[in-house]
Amino acid sequence: MTELSALIARALDDMCEYQERFTRDPGHAQVSLAGIPHALVPTHVVASDLPRELVEILGAELAPAVMYRFGRLIGLSHAAAFFADRKIGMTEPQYRVLTGPFHFAWAGYGDVQLLLWEPKLDEDFLVLWESDNSFSAREALNDGHRSRACHLQAGYAAGWASEATGLPIDVQEIACRAEGVSYCRFAMAHRDRVSLWMRDPRLHRPTKQYKVMPASMPRAASA
């Protein structure tokens, strides 16, 4: 087993144990994960209704940035709570980054397949990944929208990776299922280098040209 495969197996077990502590107490109007209060919100509201309201209020240019910031705050919060609960310190930065995709799936944002894994703790940090079931892309397709939709997912990944590494990580969506392709593809990089990375041809190859490494929860067998 490679080092990355071993980390993925560990992350799978760690996240499964953590997510077992999801509880509901309707008598106190409380939903909690590992003691952290949450509120359940329909994906259609987050992926379609809220962005539409933001466009009306702020305009088409600012609305995606707000959704990105919203996702980033959620990712930061989820990551900080998980690392503190599991006592995963900054001595394990790669593992901290890698646990993000598993929480991403448990939280319902999408799955993750790693295409490039270069999580260096400097400006050369780079992780390229894809998802074939982002809820934002799914809702956009259901509504007939054909534009890039996963601002919330990109922000969430940026927040988790920033909390994991202590670096200012940004995430850009390179392609989206809502635009008619097979996967949503994202590049995670240091804020000062993300624009430069976007011009790197390594980020724009067909999926079959990468050594794909699933970093997601197992899918239930079809009935």
Give the CATH number for residue 198: 3.30.1380.20
* pLDDT tier, 221 (very low <50, low <70, confident <90, very high otherwise): low
Does 222 score more than 80 pLDDT?
A: no
* pLDDT tier, 1 (very low <50, low <70, confident <90, very high otherwise): low
Output the pLDDT for position 2.
82
216 to 105, 109, 112, 166, 170: CA distances (angstroms): 7, 11, 6, 23, 21
Q: Is residue 127 part of a domain?
A: yes
Q: What's the maximum distance between 2 C-alpha atoms anywhere in the chain?
A: 54
- Number of independent structural domains in the chain: 1
Give φ, ψ of 195 to 5 degrees. Answer: -65, -35
Q: Is residue 37 part of a domain?
A: no
Q: Is residue 220 part of a domain?
A: no
Report which residue type is found at 130: E
**Which tens digit of pLDDT belongs to each residue from 58-100?**
999 999 999 999 999 999 999 999 999 999 999 999 999 999 9
Enclosing domain of residue 186: 42-215
Among residues 192, 202, 69, the alpha carbon closest in space to that of 127 is found at 202
Does 118 score more than 60 pLDDT?
A: yes
Among residues 97, 127, 115, 114, the alpha carbon closest in space to that of 197 is found at 127
Q: Is residue 117 part of a domain?
A: yes
**Which tens digit of pLDDT belongs to each residue from 139-149?**
999 988 888 99
